[in-house]
A and B are shown apart, each in its own frame.
Chain A
Amino acid sequence: MDYVVEMLNIRKEFPGIVANDDVTLTLKKGEIHALLGENGAGKSTLMSILFGMYQPERGVIKVNGKEVKISNPNVANDLGIGMVHQHFKLVDTFTVTENIVLGMEPKRGLVLDIQSASKRIEELSKKYGLNVDPYAKIEDISVGMQQRVEIMKTLYRNADVLIFDEPTAVLTPMEIEELMKIMKNLTNEGKSIILITHKLKEIKAVADRCTVLRRGKYIGTVNVKEVDEAKLAEMMVGRHVSFKVEKEKSKPGNVVLSLKSLNVKNVKKVLAVKDFSLDVHAGEIVGIAGVDGNGQSELVEAITGLTKVESGTILLNGEDITNLPIRKRIEKGVGHIPEDRQKRGLVLDYNLAENMILETYYHEPFAKRGLLNREAIKSYAEKIIESFDVRSGEGANSKTRSLSGGNQQKAIIGREMELNPDLLIAVQPTRGLDVGSIEYIHKRLVEHRDSGKAVLLISLELDEVLQLSDRIAIINNGELVGIVNSEETNENEVGLMMAGVGKEERE
């Protein structure tokens, strides 16, 4: 058997955790091998070992049949192993060429030889169909091209084995198709690919074989043609997974949120939200579907008050809140589960109780005349912890930093929902969480809707939007492309709209 890479019985420990427990993965020449697992299953750790960023405690790695020790990324490079990172390792202010040659710079005497490097990059670009501009600065090019620069880095170093770490998270459906074409090109030219992912559809689309990890343990390796998505999901999670969200038909009431011709600029002073209008009713979940970076963040920041609008109005229950400060909006009934729970959602150095009153500490009973009432704060926090199943070491006194991601998210959701907001904005509410937590959070969001409130869901996982939403609004390049009823649409239609193809053009 012609194995290009073999990772045998790998064990990797971190303080308090066994990230990889007796894991085996073999890669045949010319194959696309998927590495599947939930967040925290150990996929990235395993590949970091292959790429030389970590050392295993036990286990053997063989490249082309020979046993090797990969002590750092340079050794991995020498062995022909390259990594295309999920979070691009690119310096924004440098050009494409400078980024690609960083670490193995061609020189003429003392001077950097940018000329010859750029030439080689152009050649490689043509050969593999990658279409990158050697002279452009990273901060000026699209996300798709940035990813291709990452791929180019590995090819420039003559990699034969390419590891792709969750490559499709930041791509439009169109770009995902292009990427799959590129991957096929690469294998045709003799390269072998390991694809780290948790997206079952993509595995079915391109992979030959698939290795499944669960909580650090090796579950099995299958031929992708011989299994279906349900089987893969079961292997990944350990039990039968229902993809459907249980929900009744929505009974929409009054308009809670009304956005009229909203225009919002982003940090680069460019319009990120253009002439956007949308209504959200009580008792419904409206999902915003779109590829990352198409204005969703700016839209949410405008509604919550974190960013000023250029023009347009925002009405909450008929009242104009367009220019109200954040605190007033919260008081009037806007709840927000933020995109980045650690940056926006929590003060990690506070304990849980202190975080639960982040928006309400100045009200009675938590404070009177400027003095905090610790007792009242504690019992309020304990109530939320109980009803939202937030697990922590020391209950309300736990340092928030010590909670797992899932529990931190549940704490935030508990805090926001306890305020019973008329409008609950949930941005990426289940990002990075395990399936159990995801199901729980979906359930609570539907409950909030059923209690007669409005929910605005922003998510990059198209499946989540399709499952949870009653209506879906698609955003592309800051513009509203269209609004559809979730029951009457499918992924293809929404995917096209996410790429900017309007309703009329599709008919």
Chain B
Amino acid sequence: MRTTIVSLLAVVAGMIAGAILMLLTGKNPIDGFSFLFLGGLKTIDRIGDTLATATPLIFTGLSVAFAFRTGLFNIGTPGQMLIGGLSATAIGLTFDLPSVIILPLMIIAGFLGGALWAFIPGLLKAKFNVHEVVSTIMMNWIAYWTVNYTVPLYFKGEYLETESRKLPADATLRTDWLSDLFNGSYVNYGLVLAIIATIIIAFILNKTTLGYELKAVGFNKFAAEYAGMKVNRNVILSMLIAGGLAGLAGVVQYAGNSDVIQIGVMPSQGFDGIAVALLGANSPIGVFFAAIFFGILYSGTGFMTAMTKIPPEIANSIIAIIIYFAATSILFEKLVSKYLKGREEKKLSKQSSVKGGEQ
């Protein structure tokens, strides 16, 4: 409960800062925010677009949150997303198979690609205690250049050098009935995948022995080791799952929301995953809702810019400021828990002094 309040406070603070930015540029913040939210929610197709925009964020958010529970910073989601997307696209463009077969293949390929990309930093951390922040960032850039050269070489787009070929309609997550349901939006099966993933991750973390182990390692790897848990194995496993989740983000983005993969772009959804995880307090449900919130912000930006001429980067700015407040909200957390601990100790010292007197 406490963390939810803290997250909400961070959001409010971020919005206020956003309002100040809007004022600074001479625009009316009330207009700005209303167009922002309307842009994301006004019509059914807009809602669909919002959900679709949120979908990769759900995955990257889950990825970061999951790794964080095990005590790891997964800053490598952009790279894992690229490789996951590349793997899925490669399968989609190479094999001509009906949807029922090729889509699951692509999904698996995407998961494995992302997992592989996170495996290396995981291994480095487990075996050599190399800090995963630097290693995942290196992997991001390696992925970036890999895509940069692989796509034009093997999957070059028909008209554009900077894009891949389009995926055949059978090989994307788009489906007519969903698009029709949302009045022509580009929402797709990715959303369904995201919901399933959220449930599975929540289940793993809360109900299984695997989750218990991973969390124990994340909270205190020394105690986990002492109790017989294999810390290294858990670190690697956690990174594999986190990487796989980010890889799925690539699948839903490049074979769902879009049907091409672009080069020369470090996907912003990657880093946004960190914001989503923070805001969602590293819990799967929190991540889900935080992602949707960000989806609204991003989705509505176009409308807002068109109606008010406020630069589109306002959305990124608000999100960035929210993270800052979410990061420093730890202050409130600490104050509250210190206060509670003090009351606890007072209660206990009263208890034990009573007992002492009795003897």
A and B touch in the complex (CB under 8 A): yes
Would B225 and A371 count as touching, CB distance under 8 A?
no
A42 within 8 A of B: no
Please name all residues of chain A whose beta carbon is closer than 8 Å to the beta carbon of B192 when the two chains form the complex.
none
Docked Cα-Cα span, A325 to B230, in Å, equals 9
Would A402 and B346 count as touching, CB distance under 8 A?
no
Would A238 and B356 count as touching, CB distance under 8 A?
yes
Please name all residues of chain B whose beta carbon is closer than 8 Å to the beta carbon of A358 when the two chains form the complex.
216, 223, 227
Mark B217-229 against chain A: 1 for CB-CB distance below 8 A, else 0.
0011011111111
Would A370 and B210 count as touching, CB distance under 8 A?
yes
- Determine the main DSSP class of B at the interface with A: helix
Please name all residues of chain A whose beta carbon is closer than 8 Å to the beta carbon of B347 when the two chains form the complex.
393
Stretch of A112-120, A167-175, A346-354 contacting B (4+ beta carbons < 8 Å)? A346-354
Restricting to A358-401, which residues have a CB under 8 Å from any CB of B?
Answer: 358-359, 361-362, 367, 370-372, 391-393, 401
Docked Cα-Cα span, A1 to B353, in Å, equals 37
**In the complex, how many angstroms separate the beta carbon of B71 from the nearest chain A beta carbon?**
11
Docked Cα-Cα span, A343 to B227, in Å, equals 12
Would B223 and A370 count as touching, CB distance under 8 A?
no
**In the complex, how many angstroms separate the beta carbon of A93 from the nearest chain B beta carbon?**
19
**In the complex, how many angstroms separate the beta carbon of B222 from the nearest chain A beta carbon?**
5
Would A326 and B226 count as touching, CB distance under 8 A?
yes
Please name all residues of chain A whose beta carbon is closer than 8 Å to the beta carbon of B353 when the two chains form the complex.
215
Would B220 and A370 count as touching, CB distance under 8 A?
no
Would A402 and B222 count as touching, CB distance under 8 A?
no
**In the complex, how many angstroms separate the beta carbon of A40 from the nearest chain B beta carbon?**
9
Would B208 and A402 count as touching, CB distance under 8 A?
no
Would A354 and B212 count as touching, CB distance under 8 A?
yes
Would B219 and A348 count as touching, CB distance under 8 A?
yes
**In the complex, how many angstroms separate the beta carbon of A433 from the nearest chain B beta carbon?**
12
**In the complex, how many angstroms separate the beta carbon of A397 from the nearest chain B beta carbon?**
13
Please name all residues of chain B whose beta carbon is closer than 8 Å to the beta carbon of A407 when the two chains form the complex.
348
Docked Cα-Cα span, A238 to B359, in Å, equals 10
Please name all residues of chain B whose beta carbon is closer than 8 Å to the beta carbon of A329 when the two chains form the complex.
228
Docked Cα-Cα span, A343 to B223, in Å, equals 6
A270 within 8 A of B: no
A249 within 8 A of B: no
Q: Nearest B residue to A358 by beta-carbon distance?
A: B227
Please name all residues of chain B whose beta carbon is closer than 8 Å to the beta carbon of A436 when the two chains form the complex.
352, 355-356, 359
From B208, B220, B224, B343, A16 is in contact (CB under 8 Å) with B343
A141 within 8 A of B: no
Q: Nearest B residue to A40 by beta-carbon distance?
A: B349
Docked Cα-Cα span, A327 to B228, in Å, equals 4
Known: A17-B349, A358-B216, A436-B359. A344 touches B208 (CB 8 A): no
Q: Nearest B residue to A363 by beta-carbon distance?
A: B209
Please name all residues of chain A whose beta carbon is closer than 8 Å to the beta carbon of B213 when the two chains form the complex.
361
Mark B326-343 against chain A: 1 for CB-CB distance below 8 A, else 0.
000000000000111111
Docked Cα-Cα span, A128 to B348, in Å, equals 46
Q: Nearest B residue to A349 by beta-carbon distance?
A: B219
B344 within 8 A of A: yes
Chain A interface category by residue count: 35 or more
A490 within 8 A of B: no
Q: Nearest B residue to A354 by beta-carbon distance?
A: B212
B158 within 8 A of A: no
Q: Nearest B residue to A17 by beta-carbon distance?
A: B345
Known: A347-B220, A393-B344, A402-B340. A372 touches B207 (CB 8 A): yes
Would A346 and B223 count as touching, CB distance under 8 A?
yes
Would B219 and A404 count as touching, CB distance under 8 A?
no
Mark A3-15 against chain B: 1 for CB-CB distance below 8 A, else 0.
0000000000011
A453 within 8 A of B: no
Please name all residues of chain A whose beta carbon is closer than 8 Å to the beta carbon of B355 when the two chains form the complex.
436
Please name all residues of chain B whose beta carbon is closer than 8 Å to the beta carbon of A349 when the two chains form the complex.
219-220
A336 within 8 A of B: yes
A68 within 8 A of B: no
Q: Nearest B residue to A340 by beta-carbon distance?
A: B222
Would B226 and A371 count as touching, CB distance under 8 A?
no
Docked Cα-Cα span, A16 to B229, in Å, equals 37
B351 within 8 A of A: yes
Would B208 and A371 count as touching, CB distance under 8 A?
yes
Would B222 and A404 count as touching, CB distance under 8 A?
no
Would A336 and B351 count as touching, CB distance under 8 A?
no
Docked Cα-Cα span, A234 to B290, in Å, equals 60
Docked Cα-Cα span, A344 to B227, in Å, equals 8
Would A343 and B208 count as touching, CB distance under 8 A?
no
**In the complex, how many angstroms separate the beta carbon of B232 from the nearest chain A beta carbon?**
12
Mark A438-454 against chain B: 1 for CB-CB distance below 8 A, else 0.
00000000000000000
Please name all residues of chain B whose beta carbon is closer than 8 Å to the beta carbon of A392 when the two chains form the complex.
348
**In the complex, how many angstroms separate the beta carbon of A360 from the nearest chain B beta carbon?**
9
**In the complex, how many angstroms separate the beta carbon of A57 from the nearest chain B beta carbon?**
16
Docked Cα-Cα span, A217 to B110, in Å, equals 66
Docked Cα-Cα span, A270 to B357, in Å, equals 50
Would A325 and B228 count as touching, CB distance under 8 A?
yes
Would B226 and A362 count as touching, CB distance under 8 A?
no
Would A345 and B209 count as touching, CB distance under 8 A?
no
Mark A69-92 against chain B: 1 for CB-CB distance below 8 A, else 0.
000000000000000000000000
**In the complex, how many angstroms separate the beta carbon of A232 from the nearest chain B beta carbon?**
18
Please name 15 further chain A to chain B contacts, defined as beta carbons within 8 Å, in addition to the given A16-B346, A215-B349, A354-B212, sorted by A numbering.
Answer: A239-B359, A325-B230, A345-B223, A347-B220, A350-B219, A358-B216, A358-B227, A370-B208, A371-B207, A391-B348, A391-B351, A391-B352, A401-B341, A404-B348, A434-B352
A-B pairs with lowest CB-CB distance, top 9? A16-B342, A327-B228, A15-B342, A16-B346, A358-B227, A326-B228, A349-B219, A344-B226, A402-B344
Interface of A with B (CB < 8 Å)? 14-17, 215, 238-239, 304, 306, 325-327, 329-330, 336, 338, 343-350, 354, 358-359, 361-362, 367, 370-372, 391-393, 401-404, 407, 434, 436
Interface of B with A (CB < 8 Å)? 207-210, 212-213, 215-216, 219-220, 222-230, 338-349, 351-353, 355-356, 359
Between A and B, 9 residue pairs with Cβ closer than 8 Å are A15-B342, A17-B342, A215-B349, A326-B227, A329-B228, A347-B224, A348-B220, A372-B212, A403-B348
